[in-house]
Structures are given as structure tokens and as C-alpha cells.
Structure 1
């Protein structure tokens, strides 16, 4: 079983490698005046500005700057604390709070808005956009206080709101989201997107700063109503009602003529990570089956479902079930954890005593919730091993204390910040009915040493 969990870790490592900035930027074609990728071209006659936002911003910016023959006239990089960055980026680098916005994000966003507002039609912007930028672009709309944004973000996350719902609210609280970043810039903006959103909806990724937003203030109010938060945030509810119909406050819509100068290309997504993981599984003799690329739902329920799917898949053939997306956690307890850790712990409870099967759940950015782990890999003996350490899996689940269960254990996946972000991955590996011969052959293809996490 130890080697089966090693295979799961090797698959996760390959997935992360496939969506690293240096791998994704190979799509770019440098031109004497700028760059081209897919149908997106940026070769301005005037100033060239490079902007990178999100958890993958430093790696994307460093790779782009190294590939461009033309030196940009301005560079702006905004990322979260803990994300590694090349020393050469130091003059251009700003950091801000994530997942909860802070005053550093407000200052950085105001600086960015001013920079883009100074540009002319003959200038051009390359925007490298990755997950996490919604929280980093923290400058609120007029009439909204930063503390309100922080509090409602926290409340929605604790209630288990999906990322699309959370970002509908953000797009009606924050000044640089919902197409407003592009609408306030006279220069063309070419946006290269690294998606962390199931389904890769461009209006949802990083709250869509350069694409039209089909949602409204009424939709934002509906999210508060859905999670019974209107009573907790009466001032925001009133703001949503009174701002509805105000063209100066409303997000830019898909037919907004100011967005005609903005183009977008999907640089990387969860599907590429799944493809790389599947290749490792195939090379190790397991048949990969991608269950979904839009995994959603409450984490512990999804964990139980995936565990049950793994048990049902156990035939004569070794199989790897793969899923990508982002689950949610409805916080009821006071413990410490994250959606991947909670998913894995729920699966571990379901898999007690089951042999020749393991499950891995991990965040591709390397940070699961408020923990230092990306996730965990579990098998049929995980719960028993926890009991031997004095840890109760069921009690940890009830307290939302999945990190309390996995901390300082070999099950935890500790990558540190990875410099990329394409949402979450989950693998269920079943050795099949003839594990000895098949797995011995499969493990011959594994790296000599397990991944460094």
C-alpha cells in the first residue's frame, strides 16, 4: 500500500509540473514588438506594460519577461504572502492578503488602476491572470468599506458558498473586478489566464477583471439571501439594492464597447494537470478514468462519494479515478483545516479496512485553507493509524479539524506554495484484483525516490 500512495504522490507531482508557468509559457511566440499566443497579440506602437496578478503571478511574470525581446516600459506584479518570487522582480513586486483582503491590496489596486488609466490607445497591456487575484484586488467600490468586504468574504466561505457565488458578490463590492479593470484603460489589454475555476468561466476566474460580467447587484443580493446573511450584513444588502441600475457602480457588461479592446486566452487549466496525472497512471499500469473536471459540492460528502466510487471500481484491472475542481466546506466547528484535507479525512473514514486502495486530495497552489498542507493521501489504515496517535477521525470531521488529524503525519502533502493554481485534484487508485503481479510491474516505472513532499 505504501507504493500505491507513492504513485498517487507521483501523479500529483506531475500534475503540478504540467501547470508551472515555465511550462505554460511555451505557448508564447515572441515578436520584435511584443508577443503572440493563440488569437491574442500584443505589439503596441506606444508603451508596453506587463501586469501579473494572482498566486502564479511571479512565475508567469518572470517567464514572460525572459521570453520577450522587447523590454516593457512598466511592470506590475501582485501576489499573496509566501509565494516565491525571483529577486529580479523585487522592484515590481507587491504583496497583499489572501484569502481575506487587506489594506496592502487596496493600495496596490489603486496604484494599478492609476497606471492603467494613464495609458493611451497606442499603448498595450499584457495581463497575466491567475487564481487568488479576486482577494488581492481589494480596493472597494465607493460606499463600501474594506472591513465589510473582509467580513462578508469570511462569512460566505464559512457557509460553504461556491467560488462562483463568492465572486458574484466580489464583483459588486470591488472596484477592479467585473470587467472594470479593462473598462478603465484606453489601451488594448491582452489577458493570459491560468484558470482555477471549475469549467474555466472567464467571468468567474479572478472575478473577471477584463471580461464582461453577466451578473448584477440583484444577483449579489440573492447570494446573501441564499446563505441567510442579509441579517448579518444589512448595510451591504441596502447597498446592493440602491446600487442596482447605477451605471457608474455596476460591473461592465459583455456588450460594453469599452471591452472590445480586451482579448483573452486561456493559458492553462485543471484539465492539463489531470492529463499529466493520467499519463503517470498509464505508465504505471493503471487505467485512468477522468470522472469530472468540474468537481463541486460539500467536501466531506464528495470524499465519501469518491471513496465509494473507488471501492466500486475494484475489478481485475488496476484503475485510477481522477477528478478536478473545487469543493466547499460548511464550517460548523472551531478546528483548523481545508477543503482537501476534509475531503481526504471523510474518505479515510469510508475506507477503513479496505485494502489495495488509496485516495489523494490536493490543492494545486500548495495551500489548503489556513493550513501549511496542500492536502493528504489516505488509505484503509489511515483512521487506525490516527487512533494509534490518539486522534479520532470522526471527531476531527465534526470539529472541522482535519489539519488537527493530519498534522505531522506521513499522510499530509507538504509542497509549500507551488507558484501555480488550477484549483484542486483528487485521485482514487485501486490496485485491482491481481495486485501482486500487476503492481510489481507498475511500480517499476515509478521514480527511484518519492516526490519531495
Structure 2
């Protein structure tokens, strides 16, 4: 059964690979410039080059990822670095130099918020500290990116405002709900949030960084231009298509399980909230199915996606998927098989894609409470010997969870 869970995850990654998803979504016309950013950018760009032949392009990838032999700027993720600044400045200058007749194809996938970074009114170091604080606070990705957009010269549709060219964006979604304004902080898309919203988010999570607060307060007073808003005339130059999303990943795994003779039910592609609360929901659902055969008859596989958050209060290492599995282990009354992983192959700073729960983990008798207290899910699964390591997968379609209920 352990091998079947791993095979379902790997088959989902293969079937929902960025190259395949992009191939079927490319427009029929040849672009004058291709911009590619994010964890799926290399494969997305390769699909475009295979379709159109040689075209000018600019590719930005996370450090350590395979560029497939293409020229790339390698920047840092999830915290931006100097190369993030360089890449963003180059993109801005390229777009500013285009004529109104030019056509731009923008290939955007998750990770672009950090890989293209051009801070507004604060230093790179302040932007790094702010991003780190937001990521550890338990804020949702929508909240994180609402703040990022209002402290940026390019996010929140500002790249569209910076050019006279026509832009067609192909997106790979790594956010629950597939909101294009949140993916990579929406560099070409309208932003419904405001400076006041960003200030409220910092207040909610008690992040009192002076430089950021000063800029956001100025913006809230109308002293700084807002992000691109719905209905703006510049949007007449934007077209876009969602090339791939978390649901593609889940459906691919469901289809694989069906071919193997198993029934799988997709619960949702947009579960968010705190990882421990999400684990409790999955545990209680599994126990109800076991006890009563409702709302689904057993045996079956439960699939879910989306993106949970972790409020980091301890000194351990892990990621949202490892934390989910550790909390699932703590809540379940009896063993079951489960897998949770990040589709990009890296679950937080753990170095693993995720992990598995098996009856053998219960046999070890490990107490989950001290590990949860320290947010130390990595150490737990290292001791259990069930870490799932794929390395960077070259995609980013959010999280993947699979439970077998018998």
C-alpha cells in the first residue's frame, strides 16, 4: 500500500507536468517576447520554444533548479535576494521598451513573488524580514501577497501598467481558489486589496516592522499610487488563461487509482487554514467512514489539495505537509496509510517533499506531542523513516494529500 500511495503521487506529477499543461494552452500566435518565472517556468518556456521556435525570452528560476539548458536568472525562494532584484529590474526595463504593437507571452507559476522582487520604499533586507515574519505567522498566501503587492514596484498589476505592449498570461496556480491576482502576487492582474488591507494584515499578525508600516500608512493616506484595480483601461491589453491547477493534480491521481482498481474521492482542491485543524478534520472524517460507512462507503482513498498554514512557535524544522501528517497521527484512533506532500518537491525548509504514515509508524510508539510543541515534524518523520524525497520537481501545483480508509 505504501508503494501505491507513492506511485499515485508520482503519476500525478507526471500527468500534470508543466510542459504538458502549457502545450495545450499556448496561443496560436508567435510572441515577440516570452517571460517565464516560477518553479514551473523552465518547462513552460521549453513548451513555448518547441511550439514557436526561437523567440526572445527571459527566464527566472529558484536556485538549484534545472534550467533544462536554457539561459536563466537563478534567484532565491521563499525569501528574495539580490538576483531577485536583478531579474525584476531586467523584466521592468524589457517591458518599458516595447511598442504598443508588441505581444508578450507571460508564463507565470508559483514562486514568482520571491523570484521577481523590486521593493517599494523599503530595503531588500526589510522585505526579507517581512516575508519571513508573514510566512511564520500562519497568514494565508492571499494575505501574504496582499502585503507584498503594496510594498512592490511590479506586483499587483504594476508590470502591465509599466508597458504599452499587449500581454497574454498563462498561469500555473499554486493558490487555493486559483485567483490570478494572488499567483506570484499578480504582476499583470488587477488587485482588489488596498494599502489599508495590508496594514490590517500586519496588525492581525502583530508584525510591527517600521519601514513597511511607514510605506503602507503613506499609501493608505493616498500619498502613493495604488495597485492596478479592476476596470482599469490597461486591462484591455491583458488576456490570460489558467494552464494548470491543483485540481489537475488530484484528478490525475484519482484516474491512476481507478486504473489500479481503487475508488478515490476528491474532497476539495482548496483546503486552507491551520495544518493541525485540517488534520483533525481529515482524521474525524476517516474515523466516521470507518465506523459508519458515511458519507462514503469503504474502502476508498480520500484526496485533497490546497495549502495549509503553520504558525511557527517552536524551534524545530518541518513544513505544512509534515505538520499535517504529524497532527493526523496525533488525532487518529487507529493506524491508516496516508501521504502528504508539496508538489514542488520541497515542503518548507525540510528538504523533503513530504512524508507517509503507515501502520509501522504507530508500531514505533512515538509520542507526537513534544514534536508538535516544537514544530519539529521533520525530526519525527526522520525517526519514523518515512520521509518522501523527490528533489525539486519543476512544478508548483500546491499540496497533495492522500488517505486510504479501510
Would the TM-score normalized by the shorter structure come out above 0.5?
Answer: yes
Calculate the TM-score normalised by the size of structure 2. Answer: 0.94
The partner residue of 2:61 within 75, 79, 87 is: 79
Secondary structure, in 3 states, of the residue corresponding to 1:84? coil
Q: Which runs of 5+ in 1 are unaligned?
A: 30-34, 37-41, 432-453
Secondary structure, in 3 states, of the residue corresponding to 1:140? coil
Q: Which moved more, 1:295-304 or 1:115-124?
A: 295-304
> 2:101 matched to which residue of 1?
122
> 1:311 matched to which residue of 2?
287
Question: Does the CA contact (< 8 Å) of 1:80 and 1:97 recur in 2?
Answer: yes
> 1:27 matched to which residue of 2?
24
CA drift at 1:311? 2.3
Question: Does the CA contact (< 8 Å) of 2:218 and 2:224 recur in 1?
Answer: no
> 1:242 matched to which residue of 2?
218
Calculate the TM-score normalised by the size of structure 1. Answer: 0.85
Residues 214-253 of structure 1: matches in 2 within 5 Å?
214-229=192-207, 232-244=208-220, 246=222, 249-253=225-229
> 2:128 matched to which residue of 1?
150
CA drift at 1:114? 0.4
The answer as to 2:171 corresponding to 1:187 is: no
Question: Does the CA contact (< 8 Å) of 1:180 and 1:210 recur in 2?
Answer: yes
> 1:341 matched to which residue of 2?
322
The answer as to 2:39 corresponding to 1:55 is: yes
Once the two structures are superposed, residues 148-206 of structure 1 have per-residue CA deviations (whole angstroms, 9 ceiling, x without a partner) of 11111111111100000000000001111100111111110110000001000011111
The answer as to 2:381 corresponding to 1:406 is: yes
The answer as to 2:283 corresponding to 1:283 is: no
After TM superposition, the runs of 4+ consecutive aligned structure 1 residues lying more than 3 A away are: 245-249
Question: Does the CA contact (< 8 Å) of 1:133 and 1:206 recur in 2?
Answer: yes
> 2:188 matched to which residue of 1?
210
Once the two structures are superposed, residues 338-393 of structure 1 have per-residue CA deviations (whole angstroms, 9 ceiling, x without a partner) of 000110111122236x24x2111110000000111011110344143364xxxx43
Distance 1:328 1:150 in 2: 19
RMSD of aligned Cα (Å)? 1.7
Distance 1:362 1:256 in 2: 39
CA drift at 1:301? 2.0
Question: Does the CA contact (< 8 Å) of 1:51 and 1:126 recur in 2?
Answer: yes
Q: Which runs of 5+ in 2 are unaligned?
A: none
Distance 1:23 1:370 in 2: 28
The answer as to 2:390 corresponding to 1:415 is: yes
Question: Does the CA contact (< 8 Å) of 1:55 and 1:131 recur in 2?
Answer: yes
Count of residues in Structure 1 that have an aligned counterpart in Structure 2: 401
Question: Does the CA contact (< 8 Å) of 1:362 and 1:368 recur in 2?
Answer: yes
Question: Does the CA contact (< 8 Å) of 2:23 and 2:48 recur in 1?
Answer: no
